[in-house]
Amino acid sequence: MSQSHVVAFSGDGEIEKCNKMKHFPSVSIVVPAYNEEKNIEECIKSLLTLDYPNKEIIIVDDYSTDRTADLVSKYPVILVRKSQRGGIAIARNDGIKAAKGEIIASTDADCIADRAWLKNLIRNYDNPTVGGVGGVVLYRSQNLLMKYQAQHDREDWWKHGISKAYVTYLWGGNASYRKQVLEKVGVFEPGYGKYGYEDFELGYRILKAGYKLIGDTAAVVFHPREKTHEKSVRGMMINHFRAGYGFSKFLNGYDWRDFRMIRLKQLLFIVAMVSLVCSILIQPYVTILLIAAFVLLILIKATKHVLEAAVEARNLNYLLILPVEALLVLSEQAGFMYGIIKLATRKANLTNRPKS
């Protein structure tokens, strides 16, 4: 592993704060892994060299068919082997069950932790109302699209938060929670599958229970390798469609008014539905105007995303991403609308089903 993977990312002031820490609560680091033989050793090595004295490392092998479990067994870590594949949420939950630490930290098997990662997370637990602390995932890609996506993810994180200290969710690849809080509100909901949002849903329950979630940009893990399906425009469109669909599943059973970012999604959904109705009941030119309004809203949102990322990163090259970002926004809205329609159809079928 290269030296750059383990050098503290924090600035001098942040390192000084970490060095002043007097209490080091026990931490269990949970890493779910499925067919990660190419990445798992680098991940484990980075965790073993963390500048934190009171930790255990738990690798949950989610019924891998490659050499993942054999490679993990070479290191002084706890290996939890599954007898069948359950998905990332269930794997994290199994790791939490095996954990003995006061704090549960999590990252992914294809991530490499900065040497000061844990200290930068744990220093934020001095307030008992803090239920969880997360950091950022940085990509080591020189691909402009991947750089933009990472920047946009960070901007999106802060935008959904109460401030640049408090946020509404934590990324599973860089998160930590008080174990007693998870025992109170429950662990990850496995029902989202490949569509994600189990992180968001857990954050919602923690906030509803009266705890705070903190985002600390000094707590860093690196994602050194690109996945082919994620760095192509088509792959990113698929991921955004899944994210939109996952969000629609999340909203089922929750109060939409709790989420500020849902307002534009609602507006886009309403415009799309009205356009569909108008295409059937009203003159075609009205439908064209409504579709044009829908496209305009997509472009406005995409432009806002690109400008925010360009200004924050001071990189005008991000403006070149606008056409791609418009496609990604469209894909996410399409997934969201598909989920809402599917949910409404299912509820209508249940309502109209004859009683036995």
Picking from 82, 37, 90, the residue whose alpha carbon sits closest to that of residue 62 is 82
Is residue 137 a contact partner of residue 223, using CB atoms and an 8 Å limit? Answer: yes
* DSSP notation for 49-94: T-S-SSEEEEEEE-S-SSSHHHHHTTSSSEEEE-SS---HHHHHHH
Structural tokens at position 271: 């415009």
- Strand order of the β-sheet with 103-107 is 78-81, 55-61, 27-33, 103-107, 174-178, 130-139, 212-223, 112-113
- Residue 56, CA atoms < 13 Å, CB-side half-sphere: 16
Model pLDDT for residues 64-117, shown as the tens digit of each residue: 999 999 999 999 999 999 999 999 999 999 999 999 999 999 999 999 999 999
**pLDDT value of position 104:** 98
Task: Measure the CA–CA gap between 245 and 261, rounded to whole angstroms.
Answer: 15
8 Å CB contact between 235 and 153: no
Strand 27-33, strand 55-61: pairing: parallel
SS3 221: strand
User: Tokens standing for 168?
Assistant: 């509404």
Q: pLDDT band at residue 162, thresholds of 50, 70 and 90?
A: very low
Which helix (H) or strand (E) segment is 130 a member of? Answer: strand 130-139
Q: Using the predicted structure, report yes or no on whether residue 24 has a pLDDT greater than 90.
A: yes
Q: What is residue 343's predicted lDDT score, i.e. its pLDDT?
A: 82
Per cent of the chain over pLDDT 90 is 49
Nearest to 131 by CA among 169, 88, 89, 172: 169
Confidence check: pLDDT of 10 > 50: no
Nearest CA-CA partner of 117 in 100, 138, 102? 138
pLDDT > 70? residue 19: no
**Separation of alpha carbons 88 and 94, rounded Å:** 10
Query: How many angstroms separate the CA atoms of 67 and 286, rounded?
Result: 59
Go through the domains of the chain in sequence order and give each one's CATH number.
Answer: 3-231 (3.90.550.10), 244-349 (no CATH)
The owner of tokens 């954050």 is 203
Q: Which residue has the higher pLDDT, 218 or 225?
A: 218
For tokens 């809203």, the residue is 297
d(CA 239, CA 335): 10
What is the C-alpha to C-alpha distance for residues 20 and 243, in angstroms, rounded to an integer? 40
Residue 4 confidence (pLDDT):
29
H or E, element range at 150: helix 144-159
Q: How sure is the predictor about 149, in pLDDT bands with cuts at 50, 70 and 90?
A: confident
Predicted confidence (pLDDT) at residue 30 exceeds the cutoff of 80? yes
The one-letter code for the residue type at 288 is I
Distances (CA, A) of 26 to 52, 113, 115, 122, 178: 10, 18, 17, 10, 10
**b/e 187-212 (16+ beta carbons within 10 angstroms → b):** bbbeebeebbbbbbbbbbbbbeeebb
Residues 255-270 have a mean pLDDT of: 58
pTM for this one? Answer: 0.82
Give the Cα separation of 262 and 267 in Å (integer): 9
Query: By mean pLDDT, which of 246-250, 269-273, 317-321 is the weakest?
Result: 269-273
| Distance separating alpha carbons of residues 230 and 171, to the nearest angstrom | 17
1 — pLDDT class (breaks 50, 70, 90) = very low
